[in-house]
Amino acid sequence: MAAATDEQGEDASLVPEGGQWQGNAARNPVVAFEEEASQPTAAPVAGGGPATRLVPDGFTTLVIRNIPARYNQEMLLAEFIPDGSFDFFFLPYSFKDARTMGIAFLNFRTHASALGFQEKWHRHFLQDHGRTKHLDVAPATTQGLEANLQQFNARTTARFQRVGMLPVFVDEDANILDPLRELQRFGRI
């Protein structure tokens, strides 16, 4: 699967370097499988973008593309209501451009929850979204909560904390957890 891209089509993953998000350039069998598996499962609809992308069995992390840059975490969480089905939400931030990057990552507790979210939101619009680009919901390159957390360290956490863009952690009862405590619990800071 190709790595996540921002609104300009630039490669974007969870690895910050110099304030910019860099993609995973390394090719490996897992990435090759993800690339093949994330191809559209049907022909594009007339006048529309890509059809729904297959979420391979066991995949739980989705990338949501085409999020307007004016959206912040609170606005998205008001629409992607934390109901306990997902445990991790991250809205990458470009320090260079001082804005969000137009993509978000959600890790679900189960594969079925990820499929349900994709079915509900793929090719739909957010409430305060223009009508030129619909959301594109696809499997993310990095899968699972712990794998996604590997992208964070003390330096990146401090940078995100300064701009109020730390990842959001949600427990099974839909309670928002303290992000610093969770990052510490997972040994990331």
Confirm if 24 and 15 have CB atoms less than 8 A apart. yes
The CATH number linked to 147 is 3.30.70.330
Determine, yes or no, domain membership for 4.
no
Residue 8 is assigned to a structural domain of this protein: no
Domain assignment of residue 154, yes or no:
yes
Q: Provide the token pair at 171.
A: 């427990």
Residue 69 lies in a domain: yes
Q: Quick: pLDDT tens for 102-149.
A: 999 999 999 999 999 999 999 999 988 777 789 999 999 999 999 999
Residue 101 confidence (pLDDT) above 60? yes
Please check whether residue 103 lies inside any domain of the structure.
Answer: yes
pLDDT score at 51: 62
Domain range holding 89? 15-43+51-185
pLDDT digits (tens, 9 = 90+) for 43-100: 333 334 456 778 999 999 999 999 998 889 999 999 999 999 999 999 998 888 888 9
- Give me 139's structure tokens: 């499997």
The verdict on residue 23 lying in a domain is yes
Sign of CA dihedral 139, 141, 147, 152: negative
Domain count, the chain: 1
